[in-house]
Structure 1
Amino acid sequence: METPSKRQTAHIISHTHWDREWYLPYEKHHVRLVQLVDSLLDKLDGDSEFKSFFLDGQTIILEDYLQVRPENQERLQKYITEGRLLIAPWYILQDAFLTSGEANVRNMQIGHQDSKRYGEPSKIGYFPDTFGLVGQTPQLMQQSGITNAFFGRGVKPTGFNNTVSDGGYESSFSELIWEGPDGSKVLGILFANWYSNGNEVPVDEAEARLFWERKLADAEKFASTSELLFMNGCDHQPVQLDLPEAIETARKLYPDIEFVHSNFPDYLKAVDGAMDRSNLSSVKGELRSQRTDGWGTLVNTASARVYLKQMNQEGQVLLEKVAEPLASFAQLLGKDYPHHLFTYGWKTLMQNHPHDSICGCSVDEVHREMVTRFEKSRHVTETIVDDSKQVIASSVDTSGFAKYGEDVLPLVVMNMTGWKRTGTVSLELDAARLYLREDFTLEETARRMKELDLNGRVLVDEQGDALACTVKDLGLQFGYDLPDDKFRQPYMCRRVRLTFQSEEVPALGLRSYAWVRRADGTLPLAADSLLQGERILENEALKVEIQEDGSFTLNDKNSGMTYHDLGVYENTGDIGNEYMYKQPENEQALTTKGLKANISVLEDTSYRASVEIKHDWEIPASADEKLDEEQRALVYYPERKAQRSHRTVMLKLRTVISLERGGKGLHIETTIDNPAKDHRVRALFPTDLNATMLHVDSMFEIPERDIEPATEWVNPSNTQHQQAFVDISDEKAGLTVANFGLNEYEVLRDGRNTIAITLLRSVGELGDWGLFPTPEAQCLGEHTVRMELIPHNGNGMTSGAYAEAYQFQIPWTVCQTDVHEGVIAPVYTPFEWENKELAFSSLKMNEATGDLLLRWYNMSLQKTDLSFSSTIPQQYFYKTTILEEESNPIASTANGSLSLQVGPCEIVTVGIRR
């Protein structure tokens, strides 16, 4: 006798996927959002059969709505309390690969904080349209108290325009077990039929029968249980107000199926009770659509409007790697930690993090507003940095410099990275000021400052040793103070720029210097130049030799490896769109190989040498006229036949390569003056290393990826995402290419394992479901990008190459001060830790408890130990999650040190209760 099958349940979940901005500017979407929520509240008021609505997993919808409708806050509160409106867990639905790990943590933290003003956040790991997902997502979910992940992209069977593929699935069902590199597991729910598979359910019986015959079959194709999920909504979808009536129609047509107006918690409970987890596929690590044909991965959003990625990186780094640790440091010295300003700065930055925003795949108006948001967030953050560093500098004991006389000019160099640091530092110093409140005419004030004698000064460290230093006189400058207790105080000053090498600055610490007059006039002994003629740069670790065409060889003295033909530039046509790159058929790439360059020495000091390389490069002006025809006809971009124009323009390249005396890598700064359209510019770095795998920086992880794509991949381009760096290594040597805001790389299958970094991509259309011209995405004009080449012994982690790449992201913080006694030693750090497998990620303060929180992540697949000590008086240490919830104390020694085992790829956060 057969066991009767369980009755099917159709879970219909009402929602709208709300892109704040995309094919319309933000405010046009905003107006539609207000209209949608108005109608939703009216429906909830008047119809108890309309059970619930999911607000897209992002609390910013509440913020945006109440900005226009503040009078409706109580109505929102009522339905959130009743469980009919489900909110959170995020502040905003962000792109995964283009936002930092700490930005994602703040996103979760702020989403929870905002939602708790109304009630409990929904514990739904919601990624409906995210363009692929990072491998650490399961761990981030688990640390947030979330045991699931709902997502639409990254795992077969969905392909272009979310059509269902046939065969070769990575998961047998829409339900799967997703495991992160640390072993964290969540229940993954793939929107195999997309997050609109229950959209616009018909009320009419004839229409409903056709609708449900198709939709039920589609859901059954992938569901592992009889609990079927139907998402009633789509992008900017208005609320289906007659859904209760449509459900009644479905019940009449299919009496053997239970149709319910459901929600995610109820659906998860039902699925969990019905499924056999042993039957589910296990998917591990990154979800990047690796097993598809490669044409619909949307990966080239990593290089659309590179200027946005650079501004985002600047904003993230300034908040998480500079302002937060400085403010924490300043709080220890008595200054209030500005939680409110950090929340505002982070929120403003994160409003640029949705996939259609940071990915650069919206209309031009959207990205213009993004630039303003980036600047607003940066201005807030810079103010926090300025205030914090002044507090810190004023607490450093600089009294030891008093012996040099009355006009001593002390300065403090702060290293907010998690590693000891040596490097070139530059700051502007006021040699003297004369305030306009003094009884001098403007002419007399200016004269006195201009005549100030700057001779006889040297830079000394806290031991009194003179340092090599370049001084540039910036002349007469206007400035002003903004005191807390007085009106603004304008002044004239004589300003100089000092540039020097700061050595061995402690991690999360500082070192003091002073520009002084020395009676003996002793200057530091001149060190050997790092230059040999105009073409060779050399320090103890590296030797660089520049060729006639501007390419260069790099010899790593430690490994003995020499890398050839580095720094060649490549140019190809691009007849794709903001989402995806497409090279014209049969086009041969242009390169600067053999193109004579103008080479000259830019800087020759004892601590740094720089050489300028200039190219005038004739390239096609644009695509030909056929591209416009194909765009207007909505020809699918892989099928386009357009070529490049015969008309040419002059692309100007200015490259500056710099080598520091103590440098572990070679710095590259490239300025592109771009007059061309419909093309791509990349920098090429052949490694000639025997490797089939590479390592790349991602969110809280350095995943290993195949160089050769999967067999299903047919796209000739295999570009992929990166954050801070990409690395290729063999057993004896390796090359790490660090970048700042250049999120796209490709390892060419050219027999040399060449690392190609996209510097600029110019396209003219958005490229999704219609024709949306985006002339500003052509990125005409001047763009400057930065990279660092870091050779190593074959292990980027233990050699320190990865740490160097992370430090490349983070600017030095420098502050002028005066001579005074202080509670901080001239060389100081409150923290010490040592472990080559751990990467330091964050130092901040918890608003509720006042505890300091420090975070690391294990870069390796092996267990390791964190040995950590602090001179800060504390009650105890504790280990916590990314939500910073207090847990039991960790055993520590009497002198404030602890040892903590860290699991493979674990993200570990340590709290300090003071």
Structure 2
Amino acid sequence: MENNRRTAHIISHTHWDREWYLPYEKHHVRLIRLMDTLLDTLKRDGEYRSFFLDGQTIILEDYLQVRPERREELEQRIRENRIFIGPWYILQDAFLTSSEANVRNLQIGHRDAARYGTISKVGYFPDTFGNIGQAPQLMRQAGIGNAVFGRGVKPTGFNNEVSDAEFESSYSELIWEGPDGSQVLGILFANWYSNGNEVPTDEAAAKEYWDRKLADAEKYASTNQLLYMNGCDHQPIQTDLPEALRVARELYPDTDFVHSSFADYLAALGEGGRNGEGKGERDGADERNGAEERDGEPASRLSVVKGELRSQRTDGWSTLVNTASARVYLKQMNQHGQTLLEKVAEPLAAIAHGLGNHSYPHHLFTYAWKTLMQNHPHDSICGCSVDEVHREMVARFEKSKHVAESIADESKQLVADAVDTSGFARFGEDALPLVVFNTTGWARSGTISIVADVRRIYYREGFAPEEMIGRLKALDLGGRVLVDAEGAAVPVAVEELGVRFGYDLPDDAFRQAYWARQVRLTFAAADVPALGWKAYAWVKAAGAASAVAPEAASIVRGERSLDNGKLRVDVADDGTLTVTELAGGHTYRDLLVYEDTGDIGNEYMYKQPDGEAALTTHGLAAEIRIVCDEAHRAAIEIVHRWELPASADALFEEEKQYAVYFPERKAQRVAEKVPFAIRTLVSLEKDGKGVAVRTSFNNQSKDHRVRALFPTDLHTSVHRADAVFEVAVRDNEPAAEWKNPSNAQHQQAFADVSAADLSRGLTIANKGLNEYEVLRDGRNTIAVTLLRSVAELGDWGVFPTPEAQCLGKHEAELMIIPHVGDGAVSGAYAEAYQFQVPWTAAQTGVRGGPLAATGAAYAWEGEGLAFSSLKIADGSGDAMLRWFNLRPQPAELTLAAPNAALAGSGAAAIYRSDVLETRGEALAPRADDGSQSVSVGPCEIVTLGVQGAKRE
């Protein structure tokens, strides 16, 4: 191609937010109209070449739900490469969705697109509110050598206006490198994804349009291949685009105007492969679009941008980061739903599948994941839509949770019934075995609570209800002890629950109703293997003469202190905590101050009123009392009776009404106060490595933010936060361009401040609290947002959202984890990950079984590695296990031979895989024990498949 010619690639698309400033069904109606128009246009006009369907396959489901009669026509256009679909199921906000949710999104999007015969291999991130650092590695493992994105390296403001300021790349094309070294060709929408929208057909208007548009694109492009996106948010189809391009060709004979596709555009850039299919290797330097030149300068001299793209080289006012704290209740429901699926239901179902008599319910998991992911688009999970949208999200979260619970309940019972509990027979026929499951990737100790049926009487036995209830009430439950599989007594707290109604739903019979005498047993389970189980039994002490429960030492030390030998907690008059890590002798003071400030921003961004001083509970006398003193756990209740301003003032209403840009608002808070009582439960377990904090309050104040503060007093210029398949290292001080007084960030499971030499640190773990900030206060305080109350959507118009004030009852859970050494190898980060995962337990009978009383499905070792997932691959039926390296240093992963009772007949073949779970290179087992070792690169995501697992 001659250097004096240029090609304008016009790609037709629509950016389809399923829900945002309109409720889902109102957007849905517009989608049906858009898709009808698209199909009609493709049928009528052969010159209208193709359309990119926003990278998400859910649009197909949404359309065919209403238009099933057009399925065949839709499929034909996809097969003809006139409609490009995939690679995602939905366009998620990656920072607010878990690592595995991002992978499931890719897996399901690829699977759905493959049914139509084609997958668009485009790493499409058009409007994510920042981009995760591991995106290049995820794309490479999915066979994608590019990433197309709009945010993260260039300022965008009101109504997605793109500023003319500098950004981290020399051009709109760049090399994006992940922390593991994976590289993809990055395509930045430097002039946004609407820069080719509404192309005029009138010659005069077209001349003015293209003079401006060609100059805008050439300003940033590194080659003479110019990208124009013909569409925008919910943009209708431009049906006369072929005519508009004919006019443009006549006006600019030196320019090739092409109704293009991403496949053709990327090929023209020399990205390597017509469909953008990367080779999957970790070094992508050979695909750096070096074939073209501009002004004699090789385009291979593109800027290399590394890691997370979070708009840190901007003024900080339009990063949209505070969507991490908009409607916190949604983030908490999402964390619970994700965890239930990926860390409980999937591993339990995989273990049950390995027993050989139970099929892995792929169809149910797909349904549950899809239902959950329908809440993951950026305007949904970010909490930045109108109230109707978020009401519907609550129902979706509940639906997905109920499916996950159903899978988990069935799976845990199947596995529990396969555990050999025959050893408890020596304690008599009334022994009640229990199986405790640890579905995390590390051995675990902690407090378990299970409701057990001591005895059931079914209606089918012929007794009147009064007699059933009477017989059950007459049972003597005294003289029982809890024992482990070796017969050693375990201290247990027993709570009588009385007689309760219940029922079974057999697969082969009508429902079976019964009455049961129930108790709640709470105890400390010790050293339950990773991905494993441990059996206990509640038995009559008469049959367990040697099983005398030892006298357990109390964790309570006086009226305001707890001490379990690892940690000591002291509570001050104002409710603040002093936590001492006893092995190293390190003390952290003034922990758990609550802070409140006004917020006159919106669902997207926080804005504190100018000149306002934060209110805190520092120095506010608290009510303090011991509320739990048991062998397994102790707890202190702290109550603050506070008052907060009722709302922002009248000026704020005017500023919202006239859409005053939020950094320029001048409103203040009113003098009127409303009560704000905070109840905090601080607890420490017998073997706990962290101090659990449960905070609850009834919010009746508007236009404000509540945070919990944890001063670290550690000297360091950086901190760490759990992100997607990464512990991201971030600067405490923002870049010189940063003007926003706030520097809030995203987190997944934890934020950590460690000393510069990594000799010690403080990790603050959370459940669904995705926003934190390391304060520039001289103490490197970790501030975690518990609540943000705002009144409007924001962005491009005036959209009141009264329910975003989040009035009513709220609860938040955190854990304080001091550690010695690097958090990745000391166990602090593993403790934070485990904090998010609930224990699982099931009651079973006294019986033999193929599984040992204490055992695990898989065992592994690897310093600095985090376990992420155990599931069964769709299609192959292989067990898939995934880890990621928490550190930028190489590591070694050793996977033991699978549990023989679960591996099926013959030796299990273990192979390397990827995030799409394809079969790769087989690993040679060690001759002595059948284990395999794998070298893991810095920050690498590793997936291993076990081919010997039982099949459907």
Into which bin does the TM-score normalised by the smaller protein fall? over 0.9
- 1:763 alignment counterpart: 790
- 1:474 alignment counterpart: 497
- 1:358 alignment counterpart: 381
- 2:572 alignment counterpart: 547
For 1:900, the aligned partner's letter is V
- Could you tell me how far 1:829 is from its partner in structure 2? 0.8
* 1:246-305 CA-partner distances (Å, limit 9, x unpaired): 111111111111111111000011122435442210000000001000000000000000
After TM superposition, the structure 1 stretch with the greater mean CA deviation from structure 2, 827-836 or 163-172, is 163-172
- 1:516 alignment counterpart: 539
Q: Distance in 2 between matches of 1:157 and 1:744?
A: 21
Q: What pairs up with 1:65-104 in 2 under 5 angstroms? A: 65-104=63-102
- Could you tell me how far 1:168 is from its partner in structure 2? 3.4
* 1:575-596 CA-partner distances (Å, limit 9, x unpaired): 0000000000100000011111
Which of 916, 927, 930 is matched with 1:883 structurally?
Answer: 916
- Could you tell me how far 1:893 is from its partner in structure 2? 2.6
Q: Distance in 1 between matches of 2:268 and 2:155?
A: 24
Maintained 8 Å contact 2:863/2:892: no
For 1:713, the aligned partner's letter is W
- Could you tell me how far 1:447 is from its partner in structure 2? 1.3
Which of 891, 897, 900 is matched with 2:934 structurally?
Answer: 900
For 2:327, the aligned partner's letter is R
* 1:13-61 CA-partner distances (Å, limit 9, x unpaired): 0000000000000001001000000010000000000000000000000
For 2:335, the aligned partner's letter is Q
Q: Distance in 2 between matches of 1:745 and 1:254?
A: 52
- Could you tell me how far 1:503 is from its partner in structure 2? 0.1
Q: What pairs up with 1:610-689 in 2 under 5 angstroms? A: 610-689=635-714
- Could you tell me how far 1:716 is from its partner in structure 2? 0.2
For 2:144, the aligned partner's letter is I
Maintained 8 Å contact 2:156/2:318: no
Maintained 8 Å contact 1:157/1:170: no
Q: Distance in 2 between matches of 1:406 and 1:669?
A: 40
Which of 108, 120, 134 is matched with 2:106 structurally?
Answer: 108
Match status 1:830 vs 2:857: yes
Q: What pairs up with 1:527-538 in 2 under 5 angstroms? A: 527-538=552-563
- Could you tell me how far 1:122 is from its partner in structure 2? 0.5
* 1:704-754 CA-partner distances (Å, limit 9, x unpaired): 000011110000000000000000011332000000000000011111111
Q: TM-score, normalised by structure 1?
A: 0.99
For 1:871, the aligned partner's letter is N
- 2:336 alignment counterpart: 314
Q: Distance in 1 between matches of 2:23 and 2:202?
A: 36
* 1:636-689 CA-partner distances (Å, limit 9, x unpaired): 001001100111100111100000111101000000211111000000000001
For 1:807, the aligned partner's letter is Q
Q: Distance in 2 between matches of 1:680 and 1:434?
A: 52
Q: Distance in 2 between matches of 1:341 and 1:534?
A: 50
Q: Distance in 1 between matches of 2:688 and 2:831?
A: 9
- Could you tell me how far 1:875 is from its partner in structure 2? 4.1
- Could you tell me how far 1:109 is from its partner in structure 2? 0.6
Q: Distance in 1 between matches of 2:659 and 2:908?
A: 65
Q: Distance in 1 between matches of 2:156 and 2:661?
A: 17
**SS of equivalent residue, structure 1 residue 437:** helix
Which of 868, 880, 883 is matched with 1:856 structurally?
Answer: 883
- 2:467 alignment counterpart: 444
Maintained 8 Å contact 1:855/1:909: yes
- 2:4 alignment counterpart: 6
Q: Distance in 2 between matches of 1:437 and 1:575?
A: 63
Q: What pairs up with 1:347-746 in 2 under 5 angstroms? A: 347-519=370-542, 523-730=548-755, 731=757, 732-746=759-773
- Could you tell me how far 1:836 is from its partner in structure 2? 2.4
Q: What pairs up with 1:159-174 in 2 under 5 angstroms? A: 159=157, 161-174=159-172
Q: Distance in 1 between matches of 2:894 and 2:78?
A: 45
- 2:42 alignment counterpart: 44
Q: Distance in 1 between matches of 2:138 and 2:521?
A: 43
Match status 1:249 vs 2:247: yes
Q: Which runs of 4+ in 1 moved over 6 A?
A: none
- 1:817 alignment counterpart: 844
Match status 1:274 vs 2:282: no
After TM superposition, the structure 1 stretch with the greater mean CA deviation from structure 2, 276-285 or 410-419, is 276-285
* 1:491-515 CA-partner distances (Å, limit 9, x unpaired): 1111111110000000000000000
Q: Distance in 1 between matches of 2:224 and 2:754?
A: 48
Maintained 8 Å contact 1:543/1:556: yes
**SS of equivalent residue, structure 2 residue 825:** coil
Q: Distance in 1 between matches of 2:806 and 2:868?
A: 32
**SS of equivalent residue, structure 2 residue 33:** helix
Maintained 8 Å contact 1:800/1:836: no
- Could you tell me how far 1:794 is from its partner in structure 2? 3.4
Maintained 8 Å contact 1:227/1:274: no
Q: Distance in 2 between matches of 1:156 and 1:279?
A: 19
**SS of equivalent residue, structure 1 residue 210:** helix
- 1:786 alignment counterpart: 813
Query: How many positions carry a matched residue from both structures?
Result: 912
Let me know the Cα RMSD of the aligned residues.
1.2
Maintained 8 Å contact 2:4/2:254: no
- 2:132 alignment counterpart: 134
Q: Distance in 1 between matches of 2:772 and 2:583?
A: 26
After TM superposition, the structure 1 stretch with the greater mean CA deviation from structure 2, 477-486 or 166-175, is 166-175
* Alignment CA distance shift 1:575-1:157 (3 Å): closer
* 1:95-128 CA-partner distances (Å, limit 9, x unpaired): 0100011111111110111011111201000010
- 2:262 alignment counterpart: 264
Q: Distance in 1 between matches of 2:411 and 2:91?
A: 31
* 1:434-491 CA-partner distances (Å, limit 9, x unpaired): 1122221111111112222110111000011111110111112111100001111111
Q: Distance in 1 between matches of 2:368 and 2:3?
A: 54
Maintained 8 Å contact 1:157/1:192: no
**SS of equivalent residue, structure 1 residue 798:** helix
**SS of equivalent residue, structure 1 residue 110:** helix
Maintained 8 Å contact 1:424/1:500: yes
**SS of equivalent residue, structure 1 residue 504:** strand
For 2:442, the aligned partner's letter is W
* 1:505-534 CA-partner distances (Å, limit 9, x unpaired): 000000000001011676412222111122
Maintained 8 Å contact 1:558/1:792: no
For 1:610, the aligned partner's letter is A
After TM superposition, the structure 1 stretch with the greater mean CA deviation from structure 2, 292-301 or 785-794, is 785-794
Which runs of 5 or more residues in structure 2 are unaligned? Answer: 271-290
For 1:518, the aligned partner's letter is A
For 1:282, the aligned partner's letter is V
**SS of equivalent residue, structure 1 residue 532:** coil
**SS of equivalent residue, structure 2 residue 417:** helix
**SS of equivalent residue, structure 2 residue 579:** strand
**SS of equivalent residue, structure 2 residue 269:** helix
- Could you tell me how far 1:368 is from its partner in structure 2? 0.5
For 2:326, the aligned partner's letter is A
Q: Distance in 1 between matches of 2:3 and 2:111?
A: 44
After TM superposition, the structure 1 stretch with the greater mean CA deviation from structure 2, 887-896 or 409-418, is 887-896
- 1:229 alignment counterpart: 227
* 1:827-866 CA-partner distances (Å, limit 9, x unpaired): 0013111122110001111121111110000111111111
* Alignment CA distance shift 1:167-1:237 (3 Å): closer
For 1:256, the aligned partner's letter is D
Q: Distance in 2 between matches of 1:438 and 1:911?
A: 49
Which of 772, 777, 780 is matched with 1:750 structurally?
Answer: 777
Q: TM-score, normalised by structure 2?
A: 0.95
Q: Distance in 2 between matches of 1:859 and 1:10?
A: 43
Q: Distance in 2 between matches of 1:6 and 1:502?
A: 73
- Could you tell me how far 1:871 is from its partner in structure 2? 2.9
* 1:343-392 CA-partner distances (Å, limit 9, x unpaired): 00000000000000000000010001000000000000000001100110
- Could you tell me how far 1:165 is from its partner in structure 2? 3.5
Which of 884, 892, 899 is matched with 1:871 structurally?
Answer: 899
Q: Distance in 2 between matches of 1:627 and 1:256?
A: 53
Match status 1:909 vs 2:931: no
Q: Distance in 2 between matches of 1:888 and 1:639?
A: 58
- 1:804 alignment counterpart: 831
